[in-house]
Chain A
């Protein structure tokens, strides 16, 4: 067996209420590309943050070049020769390529002035090595995304890194850019670098990687050579968990169409069509960045629609603002409570009634009595744990915040309720309560779209499941025929027919 250059053994890391890593392992070998795989939330990013010392580890050890190490942040790990290229590039678009490469450690003369010619010269050498056809004095914003990625790699090389970790490097790249990235990766491998390649795209794994490490729920599952694997076994390794009985499904009959989306095109939505029946829970699965949230926001009128129709109860509505969608009876609960879901500095009451204030006022004056009544009703109905409705919502737990967010949508008495990741950052107990609430709405005849990255949740709750991949629907399953392997296969880009075959 080869000797790993970087070795992570039995890493444990807990956050309040969550065990993010539970005996995670990873070996990086010089001259090989190691794929790191796992579902959303499997602990890949946490593991990377442990390596660079952004998070301290609770247990376990990191061995680098045969020594136990612990880094105190990305600066230290980078100095030692471990570079991470993040999904979202950490570059400054207004500066030149050379300035970006040498940011924070500019080459200076002894008076502290920057030695520009030497810096450009060295940067040019790096670019040449990566076959980038730009001078290093070019401003970064004149480069394509793929070329910018090369600059990140050049930066990693300038640190004389021995280990380069790439987190979803091809997410934003075009096909030809992906090809040239792979050429560079192959060269780096031949030069003896140890490379970690994190990606959701299985095809790429088989194209460029030598070994595979699979994580699931923060646990180490397997380390295999790519040669010994095929796609199906790999998917099984990634999802392989059983559904437990936390999803109390209720059977309802639904035949009539409530919402229909026809050939919808928008910025990150490429020709999506589907229907939603009355009293149905439609699960929408897929990996991060598949365009699920964008699609929902187009339906909700918060993002611009390019073409196609949104039809509610037989009537074309095509909302151009969230207000229109709400007035038609579509409510959307955001996946990002902090970002655009809630106003964290306001009270529970002010947040919950925000969408529905028109119904809670007489003329232009707020009807405080009516507002308090319905807010308190929802607090009781949803079992929201808050000292009073005037509590600042930022002080509540994630689960209780989420319940307020759902109540906020329900206050508008919607016909269609779109829940985007309704259990993200929510503890197990509150999760179950939220599932029960969703079922209750369903029993009352509400039509629900449940967007979730957690496959067990989608499988357990939905009557029908759509899978999205790169802004398109890559699969549709009834609750009966769906299983995690099929969903995962569609999520990574196989289409329906391939899966069925």
Chain B
């Protein structure tokens, strides 16, 4: 079993904001964990720290018991893949070339790419259902296509764990569902461990095995969908204007303006 663990990690930004205060969390293979919480709760910072992209001020992050700090950048990238919310700039490359960047941690500087690398790219393109886009320029793609390509690049890294930051932020409902179905397939059929940061409680409800609720740099609760998506748990964090119902037995959370509010 593969495990990613954070022990009491804390991180303060230079402007004095405590992004994380003593956060502990575990992620295993074969599970999809959704990290939810209001804006500024520290979710994206947690992804950076778990992925080793940013070092915490205190505490430690371990992959299978080995501290991330002691791993080389390439060794870390072979264990943990990161799907960013967006890129600083869209490079002028084809989808295939872009996905090939996921092989950076595997390719030897002097021997160059091997058949194993090429096969990994082909497999990643197929798994994310973007094989038909391989020859297209990255800049030509729609938001939904680009999100799948970002996931394909992370899959090419062949890391057992994926850290996914807000994958559905700019997508229409159909593509939101498609992205979560893809992530879920990776967990159920390929045994990956996936940690996804999302604002969408309802997608989390349908796909996550576990929900972690964050607020103000700390984890305020963690548990199954049924345990977490209850008014008593959500209201202290999101405020009172919520409605929790059920569709097909799965909790549904809606921002809800009650009748009393509308008469004020």
User: Do A and B originate from a single complex?
Assistant: no
